[in-house]
Amino acid sequence: MRPNDDPRLNTPSSPPPNELPRPRFRPMNDVVRSTSQNQQSRPLNDVQGVSRPQTSQSRQTATLPRPVHPGDHLLSAPPHEDMLESGLPPSDSMNISEPPRKKRSKWKVFGVVVAVLLLLAGSAIAGLFWWYQQQLQPVDVNATERTRVVIESGSTPSIIADQLKDRGLIRNTAAFSLYINLSKTRDTLKAGTYNLQKNESVEQIVGHLVSGKQDTFRLTFLPGDTLANHKKKIIEAGYSDAEVTAALAKTYSGALFASKPASADLEGYIYGETYEFSSSATVEDILQRTFTEFESKLSEANIVEGLKKQGFTLYQGITLASIVQREVPSSGDQKQVAQVFYSRLKVGMNLGSDVTYQYAADKSGVERTPLLDSPYNTRKYAGLTPGPIASPGLSSLQAVATPASGNYLFFLSGDDDKTYFARTNAEHEQNIVLHCKEKCLIP
């Protein structure tokens, strides 16, 4: 019997109303390819839902097609065309696994951590570098005073760093040590005495210490300045307060101090002049230099002999000369002012000098007033002050040693800075009205 004679094999022209149409497929020979010449293709009958055309040999062994039910085309859909064309069996194509996402995520996290660590390390290095540069800057760019530093022979770099830090010349000892190591100057620092400044950087300070040059400096002591002012200038030259205080408290000998009371300080004995010293000079060296200069000037001008003629010792002469110096700094009127003071002393009048009570008030740190109860207040007490009130200049010493002639008992420094003299109090009051409306207002 022929296949078409079997009613079971005859395909109806149209499907029954309640049945879905049978899916139509391309011949599998056009789709499925062999993956290898040595690999034998699987029978198309093995592919679910695919019917192979019946040949003369296969017709005898053909099996009846299974019934078609709704939805079978979804369950038995052929493999995707792309999978079949890839050369892989459908089951192999469906088993291709994706890349390991977990392992990739671990490397991503590791990279982020490394980047963060590098960023933090870079920031730390930049911060340290900024800090290091700041520590090398001057301690005080506005400072003008010098600081004397003595580097003893055999001092180690750490000792030198501590000295500089203690004197306020560097900001940080660690930064200083790092700098001399990086600049390779650690072993070239030389012992000596240096006058350094707080407005110098570490580089400049190290430059001084490497050169080993013993600097010189100048000190100017002005006539009319007090001992307190002189002390301040010496400190500004680089000496410590303790050094200066100790030197000023010492007892000095010589002709200059022959008439000086033992209890008196050195007020009036530092001669006003400009001096040059080496950086290795001590405070005692500075003071001795001024004493030597003072003695030389006294000798040249015959001051001691002139004072003797006035009945004064050298100490009394220095005291009166200091008052004259403070009253009238100009040398032109100093001799006449000295004459006024001598005349007042002779007739028993108080010197009445305003600069004397002002000195006492400043030294005691109290308000300036002519009513101040102090032996230095010559408005209140007769005679000379207990001691000098400033350093006299040569001209004021000469004025006291050889005063001008005259019988003036009064004088004043007018608003125009000129000196006006008077013989009587009435004349003096008139001079105040005419020439001293501002300066003569007693505070």
Share of the chain above pLDDT 90, in %: 62
Longest Cα–Cα distance of the chain, Å, equals: 179
pLDDT in tens, 386-416: 999 999 999 999 999 999 999 999 999 999 9
pLDDT digits (tens, 9 = 90+) for 62-82: 455 555 555 555 445 555 555
Cα separation of 87 and 285, whole Å? 108
Q: How far apart are CA 305 and CA 205, in angstroms?
A: 51
Closest CA relative to residue 161, chosen from 146, 178, 177: 177
Looking at 4-8, 222-226, 237-241, 275-279, which range is the least confident one?
4-8
Q: Which residue has the tokens 């109090």?
A: 425
Q: Could you tell me if residue 36 is left (phi over 0), alpha (psi between -120 and 50 degrees) or otherwise beta?
A: beta
329-350 pLDDT tens trace: 988 999 999 999 999 999 999 9
Helix axes 173-182, 202-211, angle to 10 degrees: 60
Q: Write the pLDDT tens digit of every residue in 254-278.
A: 999 999 999 999 999 999 999 999 9
Where in the chain do CATH 3.30.1490.480 domains reside? 146-214
The torsion angle over the Cα atoms of residues 291, 293, 295 and 299, rounded to 10 degrees, is 180
Mean pLDDT, the chain, integer:
83
In single-letter form, the type of residue at position 10 comes to N
Evaluate if residue 34 carries a pLDDT over 60: no
Pair 194, 148: CB distance under 8 Å? yes
The Cα angle at residue 182 between residues 186 and 125, in degrees rounded to 5: 140
What is the average per-residue pLDDT within 291-300? 97
Residue predicted with more confidence, 103 or 75: 103
CB contact at 8 A, 331 and 357: no
Is the pLDDT reported for residue 113 higher than 90?
Answer: no
Only one residue has tokens 């001669």, namely: 271
CA-based end-to-end distance of the chain:
154
Model pLDDT, residue 440: 80
- Superfamily of domain covering 146-214: Endolytic murein transglycosylase (3.30.1490.480)
CA 80 – CA 64 distance, rounded (Å): 27
How far is it, in rounded angstroms, from Cα 85 to Cα 326? 119
Entry pTM: 0.66
Percent of the chain having pLDDT more than 70? 76
DSSP designation for 217: E
427-443 pLDDT per residue, tens: 999 999 999 988 887 54
Q: So what's the pLDDT on residue 67?
A: 56
The DSSP symbol for 130 reads: H
**Block residue for tokens 């991503």:** 108
d(CA 107, CA 103): 7
R_g of the chain computed on alpha carbons: 56
Exposed/middle/buried for residue 348 (C-beta within 10 Å: 0-12, 13-18, 19+)? exposed
**E strand or H helix that includes residue 410:** strand 410-413
d(C-alpha 213, C-alpha 276), whole Å:
16
- From start to end of 216-370, where are the E strands? 216-220, 274-278
